[in-house]
Structure 1
Amino acid sequence: MMREALPTFIAEAGELLEQMEGGLLHIEQDGADADAINALFRAVHTLKGSAGLFGLHHIVACAHVAESVLDEVREARLAITPALATLLLSVSDHLAALVALAADDVAPDAALDAAGQALGAALQAYLPAAAETAPPAATPPMAAAPAAAHDGSPHWHLSLRFGAEVLRYGMDPLSFLHYLGTLGEIVHIVAVSGALPPLPELDPERCHLGYELGFRSDADPAAIAGAFEFVREDSRIELLPPGSGAADFVRLIELRAAEEHACIDQLLIACGSVTPAALAAALAPPAPTAANAANAANAAPEAPAAVPAAPAARAARAAEASLIRVDAGKLDQLIDLIGELIIASAGASLAAQQAGAPALLESSTRVARLVEQVRDSALTLRMVAVGATFNRFQRVVRDVSAELGKDIRLEISGADTELDKTVVERIADPLTHLVRNAMDHGIEPAAARRAAGKPAHGTVRLNAYHDAGSIVIEVADDGGGLDKQRILAKAAERGLVEAGAALAERDIYNLIFEPGFSTAAAVSNLSGRGVGMDVVKRNIAALRGGIELSSVAGRGTTVSIRLPLTLAIIDGFLIGVGRATYVVPLELVEECVELDAGQAGAAHGHHYLNLRGAVLPFVRLRELFGGAGGAARRENVVVIRHGGRRVGLVVDRLMGEFQTVIKPLGKVFRQLRGIGGFTILGNGEVALILNVPELIGQLARQHEAAA
């Protein structure tokens, strides 16, 4: 059962490590505050506790020392210095490596063990001598020794009554016992099943069990109490430390008797927590004398304080319980099935139209509308905010700026912009290269910035926003900008352009995306090999996106990446040329107008027309792709807008809206320019999906060349 839950732990551990890294970077940049330190401590504490439930002792050992250091910080006995922050970030990386091995069910090798020991030793230097202890070795947590085996030595007594809803919150009482086994030894345990209802009334999703157990451990009391942090608000947890007096056990007996209408004195004796004689003496009525009363008052230690329930924590857990984790592969399968459903629905609608039966037409229309709603709901499940991806670059900027010896800061905006999960995952590597490039090539050294009247620190900005049915991600810097003459000289040196060639600014910048192109004076760990920007462009193109560069000398450079919101299903607009059918993304279509002979003649053979006083360049798809049959007597212009540009597509037929399931082209056809995929129509025919960014770019280059 624990193995089945391991993938959930791996996912949660990744989130906790992201919180740890983000918290450290926040503290390093904005200073330490109580909330940030507590959040950092909770992330490490939760990771340690969860790892203990799965017996991942390497993770527990590393997290334990880090937790001890952070506890010193939390108690204001230690400050987070840059050196300590760097060390804790290294610990985060080490824990991430251990989690990755746990995901593959692989034990750490000697090198990783040595790295962990080195990090542990470095952390121990921040701890007082008394705290320099490693977590106790794990022992079998369910070792229920018989009463005869008790040696009578003092130990903790834990009285646990788990809340009825803990199973629904994803908490397993057995897991807590496993975790206690990593902190010490359970010397005896008794299950309390008095709250079990009759079998016909038993709800398997509710917890009815409690435990009384004797527990021997040298762990800090806070660590033992912290083991129940996640269930404390909904459970009844009583912890009696070693050396508790018989009066404490009497109070526990009275408390449980009031709650359960049962006596647990025999369970306490069975656990070896109290002797029969001591308990009998405590339960005997005291002599009614003032002296005895005074002695009892002086001798009775303070009762364990009850921890009040936190309404905010309860509400947060209730909200979390309403969420479920779904494997991404299952979502992909759902989207594929919905795609096939859309194609089948289109076929049914076509058959209904051909049959001409009103009732059948009405039913097919209703089904098509429901399929569209199901499609939109399913696509929403795949949408995630880009903020998590952006926040990862805080660490990249920190490490790279230290390597370059520059003071560079990262600014993030538009973090709540949502994008398809697949696109977000595949955009991370191109963004990493662009951010590193901006820091290495774009941001000048502090001396040069001061000489230019700029702040000594440089800034890299990540921004995301929606525009015309697409998402635009910008990577900008406030550096020196691109040197056009240097780019041209380097391109001529490599034979990419002729020496002295006059190119438009856009074409000069696009030379950066040529394979092997680099303006770096020397090869470094970050750049200079010319194997980056061409790969970035290919990766963006594979996502049906486009990339553009803009730069202002002395003020900086901006790289704009335009991506589709989803890679699976879109609303399309069907157009026809001859016997061929094409699809244009509907959100890019601005309007459709008829192209009469007068307008075509006024162009005098040039590919532009006057659209209500504005010049509109256009391209004839028949000329671009070829088409069987003669030109239509009546042509139409589909006006599309993308990236601030408007162009027209001259076609023969306008065929209306169509839910389009995007299918990738095979390897043989992937080099086709202007085609981004295909789809299957309701009649079984194939329609090609136009790659609008590429078409617009091609048309822009033609007009610039003609000019």
Structure 2
Amino acid sequence: MNLDQAIQAFFDEAFELLQQMEDILLDAESTQSDPELLNALFRTIHTIKGSAGLFALDGIVGFTHQVENALDRLRSGELTLNENLTSLLLRCHDHVKAMLQALVNQSDGPDEASQAALLAELAALTATAGGTPASEPEPATATADTAATMDWLLYLGFGPDVLRHGLDPASFLSYLATLGEVSHVIPLLPGLQAGTAYDPEQNYLQLALRFRGETTLATLHDVFEFAREDSHILIAPLAGAAATLARNEAGLGDTELAQVHAHWLTLGMQTPDEAVAASPDEPEQAADSGAQSAAPLAASVAAPPAGSSNPKKAKTAEKAGEGRFIRVEAEKLDALINLIGELVIAGAAGNLLARQHGAMALQEWSQGISTLIEQIRTGTLSMRMVQIGEIFNRFPRVVRDVTKELGKDVQLDIVGADTELDKSMIDKLGDPLMHLIRNAIDHGIETVAVRTERGKPARGTVRLNAYHESGSILIEVSDDGGGLHRDRILAKAIDRGLITADAALTEQEIFALIFEPGFSTAAQVTSISGRGVGMDVVRRSIEQLRGTIQIDSTPDVGTVFRIRLPLTLAIIDGFLVEIGKATYVIPLEAVIECIELPEALRDASHADHLNLRGELLPLLRLASFLEVPAAENARQNVVVVRTGDRKVGLVVDGLLGEFQTVIKPLGSMFSHIKVIGGSTILGNGQIALILDVNELVQHVTLRDSARFSLTHDFAMLGISSQPTK
């Protein structure tokens, strides 16, 4: 691993730890400071600080050190995790994240004034927490497992491969200096080669040094955690250094042990006799001090992990577990999927040629190739699938901040976080879901007083739910608030000229008006919403992902925004149909069955419903709808499709079978054609358009709703009506 890869791994880990920190803070606030959560919280910032020190990121190290001090007092009970402290720690989290993001983007970080304000608040907490402030250490004690200002001796026997692993020995010293004072350093070069035997990628440097600071043995060992695998790291309090070397828990060879002994003597290590002479009145205490310092060292350096009797086997098992995962750049995976898409097209061309030549052996070979391509396609696409919880986990913090700002009491329930979706879609869902959640809290959930008056629980609920249905993924954002006001939406739409006063709209059409640009029924503008900006962006973002969004709302009960999305944007299984002389693709996931259109309905163009085993099935004649000439004397068929709980029969001229479809987006000049979701290239080189089943079903639903409404109005007037074309 080179340095660029190492620092990228640091950034990835740091952002993951910050997400854990935010989650823990929100959980700890609701679970009243669980000790395990507080310890985990401390470890997140401690690990970021340690890793940043390895790369000499002094600004991050300095700031996180102050946060770490506050968290240490929090877990020791000197501080209480109340609302104010949680808010401060969340702001510190945001500041560290901004510092890291600035390094990633190579841009300016957060301003110094905001950092100074946060540090001042942290310092005030530390000063008033009780006990001795960090700047005034308590008298030193001779134990290695309690924090006290004391002298330490270190031997850093870095292995020959630390440079190849992207680690710089100097960075360890830089980080160590943030914990205290490095007073003396002796560089050692025992294996240095000359001439052509010198390997510039090999490490020859080892260090012996003396350090003074308020810390513990465990904290010092954490500094060198990344280098421990291939190195010999010895750390001991000055008073117990001789006893530590005598025990030799790290298993040093005789030559290396003698070398460490000699250099530690130079740095001030006392022999056992000198230690006794220095404390003639307390010889037993001096001996105990050495034992106490040696025992933690044995536990830290030599002892195997719990449940393992062999440290080498434990390390091997740990590395084997890490080897099950590998980081791959998203661009490389996208390029692979594009190539597989082209392979799908080439395979389809091979199938076509095999059928045209009629050679059985060639057809069998072609079928085998197609099966392998499908397996490769399925396996590769699965690499892009990630749990939607990756984005859901952003929103507990959003809900907390917005509710505090609005003075409401709202909880967020998350269901289905393990549901998988294409990574490329996950990245584009953040903003739409953010708008929906913020609007649910602002417009949907009532104030505590109003909810109490209506007999509801004082605490409102916003719910995020994700699940699979019919080859698609559904994401629901719901609330138990006041619901949408149908009459208010209509009045606002008429006032803005979106509809006429006598327009007959279905409930779904009325609710859909809130997605119009600039539409808002808010009585006043707030920092959260009210300017009519956002809901139109939500719909546009969902449509760009080939998805749909629908609304169900009941007054005083709540509202549900239901987003339906395809599982992937790259390759789908399609069903080829013929309409006139053109070929179209219907996503196979939406197809239920295919039947022949009854002869009695072929010429009756006004007949737009079919009795399908006792069920009234709406029909859509695609030739007429798409305005293409129908095939003459063709035996028409009905492809029954479904989205959600709605079924529609699509009348086509011919059925051509299943086909693996590589989705090619249409140009911007065709973006207004809602019923076409993309295009693909067939095996014979022709272009086939992909039909958007959701739009087709919605068109039929609106057509029938309008027809029913018109028939009902005629009946109320005593006028007979006939079905219209």
TMscore range, shorter length: 0.7 to 0.9
Match of 1:518, as an amino acid? S
- Specify whether residues 161 and 549 from structure 1 end up closer, same or farther in structure 2 by C-alpha distance, changes over 3 A only: same
Paired residue for 2:514, among 512, 515, 525? 512
Could you say which residue in structure 1 is the equivalent of 2:585?
583
Question: For 1:651 and 1:294, how far apart are their aligned partners in 2?
Answer: 97
- Aligned 1:102-141 pairs, distance under 5 A: 102-108=103-109, 112-128=111-127, 130-133=132-135
Spell out, residue by residue over 1:215-251, the C-alpha distance to the aligned partner (whole angstroms, 9 max, x if none). Answer: 4242523532331456669976431123445444444
Question: For 1:303 and 1:47, how far apart are their aligned partners in 2?
Answer: 27
Q: After the TM superposition, which of the residue ranges 259-268 and 646-655 deviates more from structure 2?
A: 259-268
Could you say which residue in structure 2 is the equivalent of 1:59?
60
Question: For 1:615 and 1:446, how far apart are their aligned partners in 2?
Answer: 47
Paired residue for 1:302, among 281, 292, 296? 292
Shift of 1:616: 0.7
- Equivalent position SS for 2:238: coil
- Aligned 1:230-309 pairs, distance under 5 A: 237-244=233-240, 246-252=242-248, 255=249, 259-270=252-263, 273-274=266-267, 297=287, 300=290, 302-304=292-294, 305=296, 306-307=298-299, 308-309=303-304
Question: For 2:378 and 2:192, how far apart are their aligned partners in 1?
Answer: 47
Could you say which residue in structure 1 is the equivalent of 2:140?
none
Match of 2:112, as an amino acid? D
Match of 2:123, as an amino acid? Q
Shift of 1:89: 0.2
Could you say which residue in structure 1 is the equivalent of 2:659?
658
Contact 1:268–1:274, Cα closer than 8 Å, also in 2: no
Shift of 1:280: 10
Q: After the TM superposition, which of the residue ranges 470-479 and 485-494 deviates more from structure 2?
A: 485-494
CA RMSD across the alignment: 3.3
Could you say which residue in structure 1 is the equivalent of 2:152?
156
Q: 2:190 matched to 1:188?
A: no
Spell out, residue by residue over 1:281-303, the C-alpha distance to the aligned partner (whole angstroms, 9 max, x if none). Answer: 789xx9xxxx9997985785534
Match of 2:215, as an amino acid? D
Question: For 2:285 and 2:648, how far apart are their aligned partners in 1?
Answer: 95
Could you say which residue in structure 2 is the equivalent of 1:353?
355
Match of 1:336, as an amino acid? N
How many residues get paired?
Answer: 670
- Aligned 1:69-468 pairs, distance under 5 A: 69-108=70-109, 112-128=111-127, 130-133=132-135, 155-160=151-156, 176-177=172-173, 179-183=175-179, 184-185=181-182, 187-190=184-187, 211-221=206-216, 222-229=218-225, 237-244=233-240, 246-252=242-248, 255=249, 259-270=252-263, 273-274=266-267, 297=287, 300=290, 302-304=292-294, 305=296, 306-307=298-299, 308-311=303-306, 318-468=320-470
Could you say which residue in structure 2 is the equivalent of 1:145?
none
Could you say which residue in structure 1 is the equivalent of 2:612?
611
Question: For 1:531 and 1:134, how far apart are their aligned partners in 2?
Answer: 53
Contact 1:52–1:60, Cα closer than 8 Å, also in 2: yes
- Equivalent position SS for 1:269: helix
In structure 1, runs of 5+ residues without a counterpart are 136-153
Paired residue for 2:542, among 540, 543, 563? 540
Match of 1:241, as an amino acid? P
Shift of 1:622: 0.7
Q: After the TM superposition, which of the residue ranges 446-455 and 312-321 deviates more from structure 2?
A: 312-321
TM-score (norm 2): 0.85
Match of 1:581, as an amino acid? T
Shift of 1:160: 4.4
Shift of 1:265: 2.6
Shift of 1:664: 0.5
- Specify whether residues 537 and 443 from structure 1 end up closer, same or farther in structure 2 by C-alpha distance, changes over 3 A only: same
Question: For 2:577 and 2:289, how far apart are their aligned partners in 1?
Answer: 92
Could you say which residue in structure 1 is the equivalent of 2:694?
693
Q: After the TM superposition, which of the residue ranges 620-629 and 123-132 deviates more from structure 2?
A: 123-132
- Specify whether residues 173 and 632 from structure 1 end up closer, same or farther in structure 2 by C-alpha distance, changes over 3 A only: farther
- Specify whether residues 177 and 337 from structure 1 end up closer, same or farther in structure 2 by C-alpha distance, changes over 3 A only: farther
- Equivalent position SS for 1:518: coil
Question: For 2:596 and 2:31, how far apart are their aligned partners in 1?
Answer: 59
- Specify whether residues 299 and 503 from structure 1 end up closer, same or farther in structure 2 by C-alpha distance, changes over 3 A only: closer
Question: For 1:493 and 1:113, how far apart are their aligned partners in 2?
Answer: 49
In structure 2, runs of 5+ residues without a counterpart are 138-149, 308-313, 709-725
- Equivalent position SS for 1:544: coil
Question: For 1:273 and 1:463, how far apart are their aligned partners in 2?
Answer: 66
Match of 1:125, as an amino acid? A
Spell out, residue by residue over 1:426-477, the C-alpha distance to the aligned partner (whole angstroms, 9 max, x if none). Answer: 0110000000110011001111100110011111000000000000000000
Shift of 1:410: 0.4
- Equivalent position SS for 2:592: strand
Q: 2:61 matched to 1:68?
A: no
Question: For 2:27 and 2:672, how far apart are their aligned partners in 1?
Answer: 46
Paired residue for 1:493, among 486, 492, 495? 495
Contact 1:599–1:610, Cα closer than 8 Å, also in 2: no
Question: For 2:394 and 2:260, how far apart are their aligned partners in 1?
Answer: 52
Contact 1:462–1:474, Cα closer than 8 Å, also in 2: yes
**Aligned-residue identity in percent:** 48
Question: For 2:246 and 2:606, how far apart are their aligned partners in 1?
Answer: 102
Question: For 2:628 and 2:290, how far apart are their aligned partners in 1?
Answer: 97
Question: For 1:294 and 1:406, how far apart are their aligned partners in 2?
Answer: 63
Shift of 1:629: 5.7
Contact 1:169–1:317, Cα closer than 8 Å, also in 2: no
- Equivalent position SS for 1:302: helix
Question: For 2:136 and 2:351, how far apart are their aligned partners in 1?
Answer: 69
- Specify whether residues 292 and 99 from structure 1 end up closer, same or farther in structure 2 by C-alpha distance, changes over 3 A only: closer
Question: For 2:357 and 2:485, how far apart are their aligned partners in 1?
Answer: 66
Question: For 1:420 and 1:666, how far apart are their aligned partners in 2?
Answer: 23
- Specify whether residues 423 and 297 from structure 1 end up closer, same or farther in structure 2 by C-alpha distance, changes over 3 A only: closer
Could you say which residue in structure 1 is the equivalent of 2:556?
554
Contact 2:184–2:267, Cα closer than 8 Å, also in 1: no
Shift of 1:208: 9.8
